[in-house]
Amino acid sequence: GLIAVIYVLTDDPVLAAGGAIGFFIPDSLFQGQIRTRQADIMRNFPTMVDLMALTIEAGLDYMAAIERILKNVTVVQRTELENELQKMVNEVQLGYSRRDALKRLAMRTGVSEVRSFVGLIIQSDELGTGLVGLLRNFSQDMRNRRVGKAEELAGKASTKMLGPMMIFIF
């Protein structure tokens, strides 16, 4: 589709192919950066949820718990998740409601686990249920899914290695 349109406009196949490649390269570069950022967020997310559970159990509400955790991390050492949480705290301080700031956090990250986490906090806030037990179960569930995904990838690796091993043996 796009190559044909560029070819009709330019009458040069090399220019048409170059235009098509130039059209898709920025998108693929951005998608790679997005995946790297989301992987960084997911790598630190279970630990952050556990820290929140500990500080909430000590008597703070979830927003004060996030602020306390972020206060103990220097700006230079912050991960992507901590930067996003700081943006959320700043939005609340600027006047956004907690619910809106949480929803904006989920929208900015684009990670399904963060969306689930935000839904969990909003639901707990609306219903008045205890958040500590929910956070502990949530972080354990995330760790179990991570281990399951690693086991699944390890199982697929053995079948992928079978073909090249057969070739090298013969």
pLDDT in tens, 54-97: 999 998 889 999 999 999 888 778 889 999 999 999 999 999 99
- Tell me: pLDDT of 41 over 80: yes
Query: Which of residues 78 and 101 earns the better pLDDT score?
Result: 101
The per-residue pLDDT for 70 is 92
- CA–CA distance, 114 with 131 (Å, rounded to integer): 16
The per-residue pLDDT for 129 is 83
- CA–CA distance, 102 with 137 (Å, rounded to integer): 20
